[in-house]
Amino acid sequence: MDKAEELYKQGFNFHQQGNLDEAEIFYLKALKLNPQNLNTLFMMANLKYQQCRFPEAEKFITKAMEITSNVRFYDLLTRIKIEQKKYKSAIETAIQGLRIEPENFELNFNIALAFKNHGDYDLSLKFYKRAEKLRPDLFIIPYNMSSVLFFLGDPHASTLAMKKALTLAPDNEELKYFLSISLFRERNYNEGLPLFENRLCKKTAILSQAKFFKEQFKQAKEWTGEDISDKTVFTFYEAGFGDVIEYSRYFPLLKQKCKKLLFKPQQELIELFRENPLGVDEIITYETEPSDLDFQIYVPMLSIPYLLGLDETNMFISPNGYMKSNPDKKEVYKQKFFNNNKIKIGIKWQGNTASDTDRVINVEAFDPLFKLPNVQYYSFQTGDGAEEVEKLSKNYPIIDLGKEFSNFSDTAAALDNLDFVICNDTSLIHLAGSLGKKGYILLPLDYNWRWHLDLKHNDWYSGIKMFKQQKNGDWSMPINELYNELRQTLN
């Protein structure tokens, strides 16, 4: 065995053990002796792919492909380009590989993924079906097909594909969760709510609170729907601010079931819920000493409707609002910012981008709305994206309220002075809906399940209307539709 081959094998052994740093050292030594060794180039490309260093991975696999054509090389390069969001180039690469081996499963699957991400849903479905014929046992194929079918306008087929995926992997909790979301979108809460109990945020929420209140959680039990009329129940937040505001409508029903109800919201929501207890006996804060807390039953917040036995016939209680703003704060904001005779409209364009950037609206997209006469606009943007208000203020008279808010109680007080609110799918719209305000949500193409399929009707908040993208990333159409709606309304 020559020295380069020996170094390659040593690197490969480290690679198999998951020691990427040591593997890279030996691979590079091997390439120094033999720069055209295909195995070493291929494994270096794989190593860089695993490290998410995609430009470097592309460099190594491209060198290998300059020496010879190999289906494995085309597949890896396709995946590298998908990770870099070079979808058109990924498709071209996969097509070249499929000319060598048309029945290659990996290439058929990955070109389907590239077409999906590129927005070519018909072609994506075609190649997913080809991949499925080659590997009918893999749940990942109908799982991916589900979203493609939804984008093609067949939500029921989308749900059936997700159900098929679950039959192939019946113990997969993530699939159960995603099937619940698919069922929710169809407004099928009867089937969806039990599956929704497999959501990751439920487990995270329980673990998080069990860290704070270790002894109490050891002695208490999670509610499973049994009689709790003589029990003290501790419920706590999970997911985002909007979810907590939305699901707090169920507190009065939960209070009817138990002796005493304790609730721990996120810090930013504490004051709002002190002003709107909704049947809660005690708001638990981050300052609460564990020894001061006593409960026998705990329940993560998003499990409440399932455990109450609700379904699509009785889920959507209080659609006209169930919260109120602080009247004193509301008056302070009125005198300071809203004492004018114009139509008052609040806008927001960005929420939490950690998990989702599709909902972010570029502020320039709001330009048509500023043509409406006799309107005063207010920015409700806080946190990331707040700096974008400067782009609007250069061209239009807009009042920046976001910097005034310390918590959601402040936001509610200002919000209650508005005639309308316009924003992306974020907590502000839930707050507006809970206050019974009128407003408009601008939804991305792949919008959240809770708005269902009939976007002409909002089940959760009767005063909130919805406008959806027709093309991914393009906000012009929903905003133009909203402009026409507002113009008619204001006239």
Write the DSSP string, 302-345: GGHHHHTT--TTTS---TT------HHHHHHHIIIII-SSSEEE
Q: How far apart are CA 261 and CA 438, in angstroms?
A: 31
What is the mean pLDDT of the segment spanning 29-43?
94
pLDDT tens sequence across 42-95: 999 999 999 999 999 999 999 999 999 999 999 999 999 999 999 999 999 999
pLDDT tens sequence across 437-452: 999 999 998 899 999 9
Task: Evaluate if residue 354 carries a pLDDT over 80.
Answer: no
Q: How far apart are CA 416 and CA 432, in angstroms?
A: 8
Alpha carbon distances (Å) from 174 to 171, 186, 195, 450: 9, 19, 10, 18
Q: Is-contact 143 161, C-beta < 8 A? A: yes
Task: Evaluate if residue 363 carries a pLDDT over 70.
Answer: yes
pLDDT tens sequence across 127-156: 999 999 999 999 999 999 999 999 999 999
Q: How far apart are CA 203 and CA 391, in angstroms?
A: 41
pLDDT tens sequence across 252-267: 999 999 999 999 999 9
Q: Residue 134, CB half-sphere, CA atoms under 13 Å: how many?
A: 17
Q: What are phi and psi of 425, to 5 degrees?
A: -75, 95
pLDDT tens sequence across 400-409: 999 999 999 9
Which class is 3-196 in CATH? mainly alpha
Reported as a pLDDT band with limits 50, 70 and 90, residue 15 is: very high
Reported as a pLDDT band with limits 50, 70 and 90, residue 472 is: confident
Q: How far apart are CA 303 and CA 318, in angstroms?
A: 18
Q: Which two tokens stand for residue 232?
A: 């003290």
Tell me the CA end-to-end span of the chain in Å, nearest whole number.
85
What is the mean pLDDT of the segment spanning 197-208?
96
Q: How far apart are CA 220 and CA 485, in angstroms?
A: 52
Alpha carbon distances (Å) from 361 to 328, 395, 461: 33, 18, 22
Q: Is 290 exposed, middle or buried (0-12, 13-18, 19+ CB in 10 A)?
A: exposed
What is the mean pLDDT of the segment spanning 320-345?
97
Q: Is-contact 136 167, C-beta < 8 A? A: no
Task: Evaluate if residue 296 carries a pLDDT over 80.
Answer: yes
In the chain, CATH 3.40.50.2000 sits at 327-490
In the chain, CATH 1.25.40.10 sits at 3-196
Check if CATH label 3.40.50 holds for domain 200-307: yes
What is the mean pLDDT of the segment spanning 338-349?
96
Q: How far apart are CA 142 and CA 111, in angstroms?
A: 15
What is the mean pLDDT of the segment spanning 191-196?
98
Q: What is the strand order of the sheet 439-443 is part of?
A: 398-400, 375-379, 343-348, 420-424, 439-443, 464-468
Which class is 327-490 in CATH? alpha beta
Reported as a pLDDT band with limits 50, 70 and 90, residue 491 is: confident
The total of other beta-carbon atoms located within 10 Å of residue 266's CB is 16
What is the mean pLDDT of the segment spanning 464-489?
94
pLDDT tens sequence across 409-425: 999 999 999 999 999 99
What is the mean pLDDT of the segment spanning 102-112?
98
pTM (2 d.p.): 0.90
Tokens 């909790």, located at residue: 173
pLDDT value, residue 300: 98
Q: How far apart are CA 26 and CA 196, in angstroms?
A: 47
Q: Is-contact 65 46, C-beta < 8 A? A: no
Proportion of the chain above pLDDT 70, given as a percent? 99
Task: Evaluate if residue 355 carries a pLDDT over 70.
Answer: no
The total of other beta-carbon atoms located within 10 Å of residue 339's CB is 9
CA-based nearest residue to 380, from 334, 409, 414, 341: 414
Say which amino acid occupies 168: L
Task: Evaluate if residue 378 carries a pLDDT over 80.
Answer: yes
Task: Evaluate if residue 1 carries a pLDDT over 60.
Answer: no
Proportion of the chain above pLDDT 90, given as a percent? 92
Reported as a pLDDT band with limits 50, 70 and 90, residue 436 is: very high
What is the mean pLDDT of the segment spanning 84-113?
97
